[in-house]
Each structure stands twice: as C-alpha cells, then as structure tokens.
Amino acid sequence: MNYEWISEFWHFRELLYFLAWRDVKVRYKQAALGAAWAIIQPLFTMIIFTLFFGRLAGVPSDGIPYPLFSFCALVPWTYFSSTLSQAGNSLVSNAPLVTKVYFPRALLPAASVLGGLVDFLIGSVFLIMMMIYYRVKPGWSLLLAPFFVLLMVLLAFSISMLLAAMNVRYRDVKYALPFIIQIWLFITPIIYPVTFLPAKLKHFLALNPMAGIIEGFRACLLSTHMDWGLVRVSIAVTLTLFIAGAIYFRATERTFADIV
C-alpha cells in the first residue's frame, strides 16, 4: 500500500459518493416496498429466531428480551452479509465501467460498503424504537457505538476487496459466497451470547472478527457485559484482513479490465 493509492482514492471521493448513491437509489426504485426491506429482512429473521431459538430451544440472551437481543445483532449482521454479497460482485457487475473508464477500482467495493449504511441506519432507527418499547435504557457505553460501526465498515470493506478481486478471476466466489455467509451466521454470536459457549470454543470464536463487533455493538446499546479481550482480537484480525485485502486488490487491479 502506498500514499499515492490513498491520495488517488481521496481525489475520486465524489465518484465514490455517486456510485454509492446510485446503488441505494436503484435498490429502492426497483422494489415496490422500497426502504421497508431494510427492516423487513432483519425483522422476520428476528421473529423466526425468537420462535425457534428463544422459545423452543431456550437459548439464553444475557437477561435481555430475546427479540431485542437478536435484533440488535441482526441489524449489523444484515448490513455485513448483504454488503459482502453486493460488494463481492461489484467489479463483475460493473464490468462495463471497469473496461471503459479509469478510476480507482477499489471505489466499486467501497461504494457498496457505503451504500449499505443507509439500510443499516433505517434498521437502527427501528432498533431504537424496539428499545423504547422494551424500556431498555442504554448507558454511557452508547458513545462507543460509532466505533463499532466503524470497525464493522472497515471489516466489510476489507473482505469485500478480497472477494471482489478474486471474483474477477474466479467466478467461484459468486457461488461460494451465499454458503460462506450462511455458515458465518452460525459462528457469530447472533442467536446466542458469547457467554453461552464453553471457554475453549470462545478462543476460536474470537478469530471471527464479527464476534467482537456484534458483542461490542450489543454491549454499547443494551448495556450487556463488554468483553474487551474479544474486541481486541477482533480489531487485530480486522486490521490484518484490511492490509491483506488491500495488498491483494492492489496486486491484481491492473488486470481487471483485461479479464473481467
């Protein structure tokens, strides 16, 4: 990674905004329910999780009402998973742009990562409404929430760079992605709290950076216990993935227009 790469990215920030804006606009224009989808998706997942895991399986939820407990995790998770599938395909689905115009290629996954935030915000508003309904008051830790959002965005961008660049050469990514996301959902503390797991497994779980991000997000909003050890590992893994993603992307971006 070098300075030039970053400064060029900055120079094209306006295009980044327009590409993200296009993604959002088109998404809502084509769907009859528009922005409502940003809520419907996590909402229905939450209802199903509450029925099967909360009621039937009796999964604990750190003393928080299970619907709120799972929805609080589903808002960032929905962002993360839909961003990965969008951004992972971003270079391929924008092939006409890639082969006809020059701009820093990383703008395309970055635009998907940014565009997804609109849905995330809508989901967050609904989350706040749920908190009011359940009378859950956030503490001072709420001020830390933006940090976790930032970490989540950085992680999504890092993995998106890897996936998008790989997808140009190996279209396998397109097929593998839904499967990977499905598995990832279960190894992330969404349905269950981290405390639900035996200590041994917890160490492995920490390697999944989404674990720390979701636990941290939950702790900020619902005042559950903040597991700083877990969060630290998540930060380290996220930064490592960011560097790996940027290096791989940079090494391959010159060939995108030739092979996409």
- Of 18, 37, 126, 184, the one binding another protein by CB under 8 A: 18
Q: Is 26 one of the binding residues for another protein (CB under 8 A)?
A: yes
Q: Which is nearer to another protein, 13 or 232 (CB)?
A: 13
- Of 2, 3, 4, 30, the one binding another protein by CB under 8 A: 30
- Of 4, 135, 200, 258, the one binding another protein by CB under 8 A: 258
- Of 3, 7, 102, 198, the one binding another protein by CB under 8 A: 102
Q: Is 257 one of the binding residues for another protein (CB under 8 A)?
A: yes
- Of 15, 136, 180, 239, the one binding another protein by CB under 8 A: 15
- CA distances (Å), 167 to each of 56, 64, 256, in order? 40, 40, 10
Dump the DSSP string for the chain: --HHHHHHHHHTHHHHHHHHHHHHHHHHHH-TTGGGHHHHHHHHHHHHHIIIIIIIS----TTS-HHHHHHHHHHHHHHHHHHHHHHHTHHHHTHHHHHH--S-TTHHHHHHHHHHHHHHHHHHHHHHHHHHHTTPPP-GGGGGHHHHHHHHHHHHHHHHHHHHHHHHH-THHHHHHHHHHHHHHHTSTTSS-GGGS-HHHHHHHHTSHHHHHHHHHHHHHH-----HHHHHHHHHHHHHHHHHHHHHHHHHGGGHHHH-
Angle at 31 between CA 27 and CA 35, to 5 degrees: 70
Q: How far is CA 255 from the centre of its chain?
A: 27
- Of 1, 44, 48, 99, the one binding another protein by CB under 8 A: 99
Q: Which is nearer to another protein, 9 or 18 (CB)?
A: 18
Q: Is 97 one of the binding residues for another protein (CB under 8 A)?
A: yes
Of the candidate spans 25-33, 126-134, 179-187, 204-212, the one that interacts with another protein by CB under 8 A turns out to be 25-33
Q: Is 135 one of the binding residues for another protein (CB under 8 A)?
A: no
Q: Which is nearer to another protein, 199 or 259 (CB)?
A: 259
Give the x-and-dash track for 196-215 against another protein (CB under 8 A): --------------------
Size of the site for another protein (CB under 8 A): 26
Give the x-and-dash track for 145-184 against another protein (CB under 8 A): ------------------------xxxx------------
Of the candidate spans 57-65, 91-99, 133-141, 196-204, the one that interacts with another protein by CB under 8 A turns out to be 91-99
Angle at 145 between CA 187 and CA 161, to 5 degrees: 55
Question: How many residues are given for the chain?
Answer: 260
Q: Is 228 one of the binding residues for another protein (CB under 8 A)?
A: no
Which parts of 49-78 interact with another protein (CB under 8 A)?
Answer: none
Could you tell me which of 191, 212, 216 has the C-alpha nearest to residue 203?
A: 212
- Which residues here bind another protein, judged by CB under 8 A? 14-15, 18-19, 22, 25-26, 29-30, 96-103, 169-172, 254-255, 257-259
